[in-house]
Amino acid sequence: MGNIQEILIAQGIKARQAARVLATASTTVKNVALLNMAEQLETGSQDILKANGADLELGREQGLSAALLERLTLTDSRIRDMAQGLRDIAALPDPVGETIDSSRRPNGLDISRVRTPIGVIGIIYESRPNVTADAAALCLKSGNAILLRGGEEALNSNRVIARIISAAATGAGIPEGAIQLVDSEDREAAVFMMKMHQYLDVLIPRGGKGLKTAVLENAVVPVIMTGMGNCHVYVDEFADLAQASPIVMNAKVQRPSVCNAAETLLVHHAVAARFLPAMIGELQAAGVEIRGCPTTQQLVPGIKAASEDDWAEEYLDLVLAVKVVGSLDEAVDHINQYGTGHSEAIISDNYTNVRRFLREVDAAAVYANASTRFTDGGVFGLGAEMGISTQKLHARGPMGLKELTTCKYIIQGDGQVR
Amino acid sequence: MGNIQEILIAQGIKARQAARVLATASTTVKNVALLNMAEQLETGSQDILKANGADLELGREQGLSAALLERLTLTDSRIRDMAQGLRDIAALPDPVGETIDSSRRPNGLDISRVRTPIGVIGIIYESRPNVTADAAALCLKSGNAILLRGGEEALNSNRVIARIISAAATGAGIPEGAIQLVDSEDREAAVFMMKMHQYLDVLIPRGGKGLKTAVLENAVVPVIMTGMGNCHVYVDEFADLAQASPIVMNAKVQRPSVCNAAETLLVHHAVAARFLPAMIGELQAAGVEIRGCPTTQQLVPGIKAASEDDWAEEYLDLVLAVKVVGSLDEAVDHINQYGTGHSEAIISDNYTNVRRFLREVDAAAVYANASTRFTDGGVFGLGAEMGISTQKLHARGPMGLKELTTCKYIIQGDGQVR
């Protein structure tokens, strides 16, 4: 076995070759492959569970948190869900080949813009082994080859899943190399992937701050950063407070570990005294730790002070920072300064304030009178998602099949010259 | 005056502040500003010409080529064209605020995707001082602040143009800092811009290989690479040869210095003996130097051998590499290996070959039976262009106003929770 860089380059070359063929593969071939992948995952469930058991045992030995072990765990039912996910993707329309727009020019040229695959997509992700199947399926359906780099804690599980789906795809006529796992626990592998611009057309890191920093420092491949969510709920002075409470509870408590959960509550000072004591009581009763600004601390005795760091923190846990603001402007400024551009909500019944918030807050998803928890490819009608982009180029918000494509101008003439 | 990095950071902060205001500026305010910029450019033409004279004198002293001096030269008529360009951009529809798509979800949420400005755009460009006005106008119309880094050889001209248009914009109600020039001849300024990810949302380098290499090595800011054009014309075995000759002549000779000019001619061996001698004769008569593969050299005695480097070279000059290929596959492989993904043409009357070429060649613009020279924002109906993207993410091909925007999901509810 050579070193990891040589292996990665060899994988890159194979991926490029596969991508060329995959780009013109028919929808039927791709769908048959996806259905075969689903079936083989179910057939191979015992192998997958065995490998997953090994990962879990290693994880326990290494002292992984209960939350992480939970995300790592596969069961028969989770494998069936994974297989169903692939069947769902097979049922989605193929984005490749769609004519986005077209025109006949005065000189008789017919110019159309047609959706095409991007080429080779690299993804770097953590913990949940079902991502291996999901991401591979989304890339396959959109005509892209994929290089998968999962978390080292899930390597045994990912190995078996990747082997099964890759063989199932090849067996159904997809070129070898279309689905490849980076089989290494070495952190250097991820860093080297970030530099493989000759082999990867785009890199999609799914993860938190550490991964983002590594990408900023190392990436030469164009990147679509996903899944950083420091989300806010702003309760305006004109909020319907009876509506505000369930939204705040939902945004914070329903599933605190995901990127569209709220991390900071902003409350207009005109309603703070009426709203905050009961709201904080309800949150605390649900096990939420509150970190408050000085005004919050005055209104609700005995809660911890929020530090500057708290405003920037993505807790992904039952912790909520609370700040009383003097105006809509202060709320918008706070969000634009500390937010990660993911999902931001205003609770208000004032037309002008809602309109201003929706316009002026700079984020992938801005909400009026609903929970931030809805930012999701399924909920938004995309069918499935590759992650939630928090950057502005190429894709913003949930990324579905279309976001895994690019386009090409096709110009048909009869001998035209300029 | 502090060092260039401090100045750039101060400019970045100003640009960010301006971008926030500009993002919600009305179309009327932006258009009035553009018309005022056009008028002030004409009013200030004597100042511009004086500064341009200084640049030209310096350029001559430093031995710039005649071609470069020509691109650098401004005249009264070129300044009028520049002003007209701004008026044309004022007349284009404003892309900001357009609803791209929308749906009402089963739970009653109204979800729409709305076009918004990107934020702050950095551009790095060379020689032609009219780009300063063009690029600033496109960014202004699309609601973005811009940081302009022109070529050092045009610094005097760019300084005056940027001062005039920036003052004209501010005078019409655009926030200060929306249009800023990086006033430095220092190469370090460009390299530092590539790393200013806190202040720039995207960097658009317009230039050749050297700039591309610097960007690959240094850029942390997301980049849209433009203007690299190693373009091919492939004359198929089923080409109408009478149609092929004028297309080849046009693609190579009409304006060899631009990125959509052809650099390599590929000819199917079945028609090479009939086509190449006369074609090469015509090209040579127009002053084109030919560099041929061994078969080409056999067919047309006395021409220079093409080296491996020639296949990858973007001459931007009256030089053409010529290669005889054995099949459509070989032509497609050659193009996908050596091309820069810009503009590629097949000349053929065979349905299957045309269809395969248009599908399998991986480029921003693929042509059947027309000259590559048409790849241009104006010709494609975009009205004006910021450059021609040769990458796949975000924008591919000519970039108009829409390509200078991103989107945002707006979700309107009535208290929905998950």
Q: Do the chains contact at A369 and B414, CB–CB below 8 Å?
A: yes
Closest residue to A369, CB basis, from B111, B251, B415: B415
Residue B396 CA to its chain's centroid (Å): 10
Lay out the sheet containing A289-292: strands in order across. Answer: A304-305, A289-292, A319-325, A262-268, A231-235, A343-347, A365-370, B405-416, B110-117, B99-104
- Looking at the fold, whether B185 and B262 belong to one and the same domain comes out as no
Which pLDDT does position A208 carry in this prediction? Answer: 75
Nearest C-alpha neighbor of B353 from the set B372, B330, B337: B330
Nearest C-alpha neighbor of A151 from the set A127, A130, A133: A127
- Looking at the fold, whether A394 and A332 belong to one and the same domain comes out as no
Q: Do the chains contact at A370 and B411, CB–CB below 8 Å?
A: yes
CATH number at residue A97: 3.40.605.10
- Looking at the fold, whether A221 and A318 belong to one and the same domain comes out as no
Using a CB-CB distance cutoff of 8 angstroms, which residues of chain B are in contact with residue A239? none
Closest residue to A394, CB basis, from B109, B362, B394: B394
- Looking at the fold, whether B203 and B254 belong to one and the same domain comes out as no
- Looking at the fold, whether A255 and A215 belong to one and the same domain comes out as no
Measured distance CA(A226)–CA(A386) in Å, rounded: 9
Which pLDDT does position A1 carry in this prediction? Answer: 42
- ipTM, 2 dp: 0.94
Closest residue to B406, CB basis, from A118, A240, A393: A393
A370 beta partners: B416
Q: Do the chains contact at B374 and A418, CB–CB below 8 Å?
A: yes
Closest residue to B243, CB basis, from A113, A373, A415: A415
- Looking at the fold, whether B49 and B125 belong to one and the same domain comes out as yes
Using a CB-CB distance cutoff of 8 angstroms, which residues of chain B are in contact with residue A216? 197, 220
- Looking at the fold, whether A309 and A221 belong to one and the same domain comes out as no
- In this structure, are residues A222 and A201 in contact, taking their beta carbons and an 8 Å threshold? yes
Residue B22 CA to its chain's centroid (Å): 24
Nearest CA in chain A to B106: A379
- Looking at the fold, whether B18 and B149 belong to one and the same domain comes out as yes
What is the mean pLDDT, run by run of 10 residues, along chain A of 418 residues?
A: 85 97 96 98 98 97 91 96 96 97 95 98 91 96 97 95 98 97 91 95 88 89 92 98 98 94 98 98 98 98 97 95 98 96 98 97 98 94 90 96 97 97
Residue B301 lies in a domain: yes
- Looking at the fold, whether A28 and A99 belong to one and the same domain comes out as yes
Question: Taking CB atoms and an 8 Å cut-off, how many pairs form between chains A and B?
Answer: 199
Residue A275 lies in a domain: yes
Residue B244 lies in a domain: yes
Nearest CA in chain A to B390: A408
Q: Do the chains contact at B417 and A201, CB–CB below 8 Å?
A: no
Give strand ranges (E) for A86-209: 99-104, 110-117, 120-124, 145-149, 179-181, 202-205
Q: Do the chains contact at B411 and A223, CB–CB below 8 Å?
A: no
Task: Tally helices (H) and strands (E) across chain B.
Answer: 15, 16
Measured distance CA(B110)–CA(B95) in Å, rounded: 22
Nearest C-alpha neighbor of B78 from the set B129, B141, B151, B140: B129
Helix, strand, coil share (%) of chain B residues, nearest 5: 45, 20, 35
- Looking at the fold, whether A216 and A344 belong to one and the same domain comes out as no
Sign of the Cα pseudo-torsion (B405, A381, A208, A347, in order): positive
Residue B379 lies in a domain: no
Closest residue to A109, CB basis, from B250, B370, B414: B370
Residue A398 lies in a domain: yes
Measured distance CA(B392)–CA(A142) in Å, rounded: 14
Q: Do the chains contact at A201 and B243, CB–CB below 8 Å?
A: no
Nearest C-alpha neighbor of A298 from the set A319, A321, A320, A323: A323
Which pLDDT does position B232 carry in this prediction? Answer: 98
The domain total for chain B is 2
- Looking at the fold, whether A22 and A153 belong to one and the same domain comes out as yes
Using a CB-CB distance cutoff of 8 angstroms, which residues of chain B are in contact with residue A393? 118, 201-202, 222, 224, 393-394, 406
Measured distance CA(A246)–CA(A252) in Å, rounded: 10
CATH number at residue B340: 3.40.309.10
Residue A418 lies in a domain: no
- In this structure, are residues B153 and B26 in contact, taking their beta carbons and an 8 Å threshold? no
- Site of tokens 């408590």: A253
Measured distance CA(B346)–CA(A318) in Å, rounded: 61
Residue A381 lies in a domain: no
- Pick from B100, B111, B216 the residue to mutate for testing the A interface (most A CBs within 10 Å): B111
B323 beta partners: B266
Q: Do the chains contact at B364 and A409, CB–CB below 8 Å?
A: yes
Q: Do the chains contact at B254 and A417, CB–CB below 8 Å?
A: yes
Residue B202 lies in a domain: yes
- Domain hosting B246: range is 231-374
Q: Do the chains contact at B418 and A240, CB–CB below 8 Å?
A: no
B164 to chain A, minimum CA–CA distance in Å?
Answer: 29
B331 to chain A, minimum CA–CA distance in Å?
Answer: 15
- Looking at the fold, whether B218 and B117 belong to one and the same domain comes out as yes
Using a CB-CB distance cutoff of 8 angstroms, which residues of chain A are in contact with residue B224? 393
pLDDT tens readout for residues B367-391? 999 999 999 998 998 988 999 999 9
Which pLDDT does position B2 carry in this prediction? Answer: 56
B398 beta partners: B388
pTM, two decimals, is 0.94
Give strand ranges (E) for A32-92: none
Nearest CA in chain B to A261: B418
- Pick from A213, A228, A374 the residue to mutate for testing the B interface (most B CBs within 10 Å): A374
DSSP-derived secondary structure letter, A290: E
Q: Do the chains contact at A418 and B371, CB–CB below 8 Å?
A: yes
Which parts of chain B have pLDDT scores under 70? Answer: 1-2
Length of chain B (residues): 418
